[in-house]
Chain A
Amino acid sequence: MTLPVNPDVETILDSCIETLRDVVLPNVEGQWPRYSADLLVGSLEYAKQLLGDDLNAKRRAELAAAVDEVRTLVASESEPHWAEALATDSPFEAASRLLVAGQDHPGAIADGVRGILHPVLNSQLDAEFARAIGLFGAFARNMAAS
């Protein structure tokens, strides 16, 4: 026997969140179990946010495009540190090396590198944090109470 249609993951997670938050949590006794239950609600909310698109691949592609833009920017530069920074297949490693080189060699090119990479990285950071905001709320609530 099979189910004609499986319930979707999001519905199951919603049910877990509501039940934990509204039924279980108010009746949990003990500091650590209550803290853990509150964090579990936040964990499930976070898990819901991670469903769907492959966020890791999306972030990687966005950063790779930004690194390619930097490659064009520094193509005519004779200073070796820019080319050395770009000598890797990983956009995360390349962006890391480029920004470190920018800290060590301030100037117009470094400003340009930051001007390309920072908006992408900060936007990814904001989006990642927004996905985890429920979990952060649970953590912060309990830190304040301890």
Chain B
Amino acid sequence: MLSAKQLERLEAHLAEKFAEKVEIASASRISMGQSRAMYVLEFTAGPRPRLVLRIEQFGLLGSDSRDEVLVMRALHANGYPVADVLDYEPSNEILGQPFFVMDFIEGTSVYQPESLGPYVESLARLHAADPDTLGVDFFERPAGKRDAALSQVERWYRVYRNNLIGEPSPLVEEAAQWLRNRAPETERISLVHGDPGPGNYLHEDGTLRALVDWEFTHLGDSDEDWAFLICIRGAGLMDEDAWVAYIADRVGVKLDRERLRYWIAFNLFKGACIDQTALGIYVRGDTRAPNLLAIGTCVHLSALKQLAGTVL
């Protein structure tokens, strides 16, 4: 939790940024989001009654806030349902880790069936947009036809190797090579959310309010997102056949099953890789929150079991 000293420093920092008096009445940590520590800030003085604070956690899950903030700002400016980022502090000086502050958006992330259609439409709209018109040229664009897949495999493989505790996992190493050898071609480059599905959007009375958690967003293959939705965040809602039919019916996207299999394997691989970062942070004592132990052990093992069962 945030200490009194941290809150004091945050108040002073925000007062300077917003050029007005800021008084924080409370800071409540919420369990939404694993990669960042998330707090709802309530104010007795400041530009808004409530804001959301999102703090990095020592590289947990292998991403940083820089690109996340840039893409959120770009999408917000383009009218997408994304919270407005009011302040980004890239240094460790105020809270010990980089953080940003964004608008509080009313709604819930708890899944309700009537929210799914608007969400899937919004995701399809994100994929259909021309990235060149969105102001996201800070993202590296895959150069070759297979680079949308290969660059992502190498990105997360590096995260895995850089965060190893002890020795390599032979099944992860084998899966990485399986993915390299079968990387599909991507005809059209899209903005890929990277972590889509229930739990990562806010809705209210059947209306989509915002898409959240943009730390994995990149330019790549939109099938990566559909696979993630089907096999991870949406796996409990319907089976793969039903998902493929639903997506085709709702937004007209016809998923190729062989490509889908690849991207499902990729997402399980990515999960296994990023989960390794949590164990390192926990073991080193950077932060000892028990969710990190869970992510670094059983969540990692669960992803690896599914991955091995899928492709090896």
A residues engaging B (CB < 8 A)?
30-32, 35-36, 39-40, 42-43, 46, 56, 63, 90, 92-93, 95-100, 102-104, 114, 117-118, 121-122, 125-126, 128-129, 132-133, 135-136, 138-139, 142-146
Q: Residues of B contacting A144 with CB < 8 Å?
A: 236
Contact assessment for A42 and B294 in the assembled complex, using a CB-CB cutoff below 8 Å: yes
Contact assessment for A125 and B301 in the assembled complex, using a CB-CB cutoff below 8 Å: yes
CA distance A118 to B295 in the complex (A): 24
Contact assessment for B170 and A92 in the assembled complex, using a CB-CB cutoff below 8 Å: yes
Contact assessment for A139 and B174 in the assembled complex, using a CB-CB cutoff below 8 Å: no
B residues engaging A (CB < 8 A)?
1, 28-32, 109-110, 166-171, 173-174, 176-178, 181, 199, 236, 289-291, 293-295, 297-299, 301-302, 304-305, 308, 312
**Interface SS majority for chain A:** helix
Q: How many A-B residue pairs have CB under 8 A?
A: 113
Whether A92 touches B31, Cβ cut-off 8 Å, given contacts A43-B290, A136-B302, A146-B199, is no
Known contacts A30-B28, A36-B289, A135-B297, then 14 further A-B pairs from the complex at CB < 8 Å, ordered by chain A residue:
A32-B1, A43-B290, A93-B168, A96-B169, A97-B173, A100-B174, A121-B171, A125-B171, A136-B299, A136-B301, A143-B199, A144-B236, A145-B110, A146-B32
Shortest CB–CB separation between residue A122 and chain B, in angstroms?
6
Give the nearest-CB partner of B311 in chain A. A103
Q: Residues of A contacting B293 with CB < 8 Å?
A: 39, 43, 46, 135
Partner of B31, one of A32, A93, A100, A125: A32
Shortest CB–CB separation between residue A114 and chain B, in angstroms?
8
Contact assessment for A142 and B299 in the assembled complex, using a CB-CB cutoff below 8 Å: no
Contact assessment for B290 and A39 in the assembled complex, using a CB-CB cutoff below 8 Å: yes
CA distance A124 to B297 in the complex (A): 13
Q: Residues of B contacting A95 with CB < 8 Å?
A: 170
CA distance A136 to B298 in the complex (A): 6
Contact assessment for A139 and B299 in the assembled complex, using a CB-CB cutoff below 8 Å: yes
CA distance A31 to B297 in the complex (A): 23
Shortest CB–CB separation between residue A113 and chain B, in angstroms?
10
Shortest CB–CB separation between residue A64 and chain B, in angstroms?
12
Contact assessment for B181 and A104 in the assembled complex, using a CB-CB cutoff below 8 Å: yes
Contact assessment for B31 and A96 in the assembled complex, using a CB-CB cutoff below 8 Å: no
Contact assessment for A103 and B290 in the assembled complex, using a CB-CB cutoff below 8 Å: no
Partner of A99, one of B32, B167, B170, B304: B170
Shortest CB–CB separation between residue B192 and chain A, in angstroms?
22
Contact assessment for A146 and B174 in the assembled complex, using a CB-CB cutoff below 8 Å: no
Give the nearest-CB partner of B176 in chain A. A100
Q: Which of B28, B32, B181, B298 has the most CB of A within 10 A?
A: B298
Contact assessment for A92 and B167 in the assembled complex, using a CB-CB cutoff below 8 Å: yes
Give the nearest-CB partner of A35 in chain B. B31
Give the nearest-CB partner of B293 in chain A. A43
Give the nearest-CB partner of A95 in chain B. B170
Q: Which 4 A-B pairs have the closest CB atoms?
A: A132-B298, A99-B174, A136-B298, A39-B290
Shortest CB–CB separation between residue A123 and chain B, in angstroms?
11
Contact assessment for A128 and B301 in the assembled complex, using a CB-CB cutoff below 8 Å: yes
Q: Give 15 A-B contacts (CB < 8 Å), ordered by A residue.
A: A32-B31, A40-B290, A43-B290, A43-B293, A43-B294, A46-B297, A96-B169, A99-B174, A100-B174, A100-B177, A122-B171, A122-B308, A128-B297, A139-B294, A139-B298
